Structures are given as structure tokens and as C-alpha cells.
Amino acid sequence: MVPIHYYLILSAVMFITGVVGVLTRRNAIIIFMCIELMLNSVNLTFVAFSAYLGNETGQMFVFFIMAVAAAEAAVGLAIVIALFRNRQTVNINDVNILRW
Amino acid sequence: MEMTILFYVFAVLTVGSAFAVVFARSLIYSAFSLLFTFMGVAGLYVLLSADFIAVAQIMVYIGGILILLVFGVMLTRQVTDVEIRTSAFRTLPATVVVGLALGTLIVIFIRTKWMQVHTIPDIEGTTMELGELLLTTFVLPFEVAGILLLVAIMGAALIARR
């Protein structure tokens, strides 16, 4: 059987990949995809612990994280589309109205 | 033994396509790589005998969120869209911080003595246990999640329309 820290290291690598994407890419949609990557890696951690502890509660957390991720994707894409309609760009360096 | 081989197959698929999501030249390539990442994670869920979560992953992420993202890509396509690579904008500090974080996490994961209560049972279906938990212990979060989804759908329609 695969030891649990294999799963944990895999999800850490996935999470860090998502962080790199958020830090270096400037396209709002790519940043969304990287946020989904990070949420997926957290879900993988939950499921791994749930399986190795023999307790289903971790899978319930995954269920709720999926609901929140769906809501976040819907609202976020709506914001990106509204932004594109008003400014004709999805590059977040060009969107600095709120920058101090 | 074959579990280990399958784990490595899905792990390589997941991590490789995650890298492709971040470093791909075009937006469409990123979106399609994300598809393979989600498939790899669903396979890992099956290896962990979480069948319900695996199916939910395929239905919610691939069937919902990914389609939504592809729509987003299509709707925000400029005419002169060459998708220039990001300039080397503070790449060095980002690399250092991220590398330190990854190293710390991996060292902690390897050196911790993880509690392992029992071995993973053969797949016998987790749907019944999850359904029972959802309607007994977690009934309040379940309802709150429903309200959250309703509010999010209405908000998304309202924001995207104006």
C-alpha cells in the first residue's frame, strides 16, 4: 500500500504549482485555473486522510469545498466577463482602480 | 504493488498537466491541461476508495467548472490575442519563497509519524455513509451550502448581465 506521505507530497506539489501560477501569470482566467488547482490539492489531502483514518468526515469537507468552488467559479467568471466588457482586457496589471 | 504503479501513473498525469496549466503558452492549452489534472485527481480518489467523491469530481469539476472556464476563455478573446508570456516580473523572490515553502512542507510530511488506523478497505461504496452523514450530522452545513449556491447563481447572473 502507498504510504500516506506520498499523497501529501503530491498535493503539496500541486498546491505550490497553483501558487506559482497565481504569482507569475497575469491573466485573470489562468489565475482562476490555478485557484482550482489549489482547491483540488486540498481536497486530495482531505480524501487521503479520510481514507487512511477510516473516517468519512473528511469526504464531507470535500463535498462542501466543491460547492464553494462551484460558487466561486460562477461569480468569478461573471466578474471577469463584466470586466472584459468594460475595459476590453483580462490582464490584471491593467485593472488597478482599487490599487492604493 | 499494482496500486503503487497506478498511484505513480495518476501522480505523473496530475503533476505534469498541472505544470502545463501554469506554463502553457495559450489559454486553451491551459484549459485542456486542467481537464487532465482533474481526471488524474479523480483517479487518485478511486485509488483511495472514495467512489462518490470521484464521480462528484468528474461531474462538478469537468462537467461544470471546466466548461465555465472554457466559456470564459472564449468570451474574453481579443482580436490580437497572442498571449505574450509574462515578463520576468519579480520572478526571483517568488521562486525563493515558493521553493522554501515546498521544501518545508515536504520535510514535515516525511518526518512526521502519521497515524494509520487501518488499511484501506476494498471498494464497497461510500455513498450510503456519506448520505447518512449529510442528513444527520451535517444537515445545517448542507442547507447553508444550498443557500450559498442559490445566492452565487443569482449574483453571477446579475453581475454578468450589466
Give B32's contacts in chain A (Cβ within 8 Å).
Answer: none
Give A71's contacts in chain B (Cβ within 8 Å).
Answer: 148-149, 151-153
CB-based contact B13:B39 (threshold 8 Å)? yes
Q: What is the pLDDT of residue B6?
A: 93
> What percent of chain B is predicted at pLDDT more than 70?
86
The topology under which CATH files domain B2-125 is Four Helix Bundle (Hemerythrin (Met), subunit A) (1.20.120)
CA distance B43 to chain A (A): 11
Question: Is B11 in contact with A6 (Cβ distance < 8 A)?
Answer: yes
pTM over 0.80: yes
Nearest residue on chain A to B111, judged by CA atoms?
A5
Half-sphere exposure of A76 (CA within 13 A, CB side): 20
CB-based contact A48:A7 (threshold 8 Å)? yes
Go through the domains of chain A in sequence order and give each one's CATH number.
4-87 (1.10.287.3510)
- The pLDDT tens digits for A5-29 are 899 999 999 999 999 998 888 888 8
- The pLDDT tens digits for B103-115 are 999 999 888 888 7
pLDDT for residue A36 is more than 60? yes
Any idea where the domains of chain B sit in the sequence? 2-125, 126-162
Place of cell 473516517: A55
Q: Is A22 on the interface with B (CB under 8 A)?
A: no
- The pLDDT tens digits for B64-114 are 899 989 888 888 776 555 555 555 566 788 888 899 999 999 999 888 888
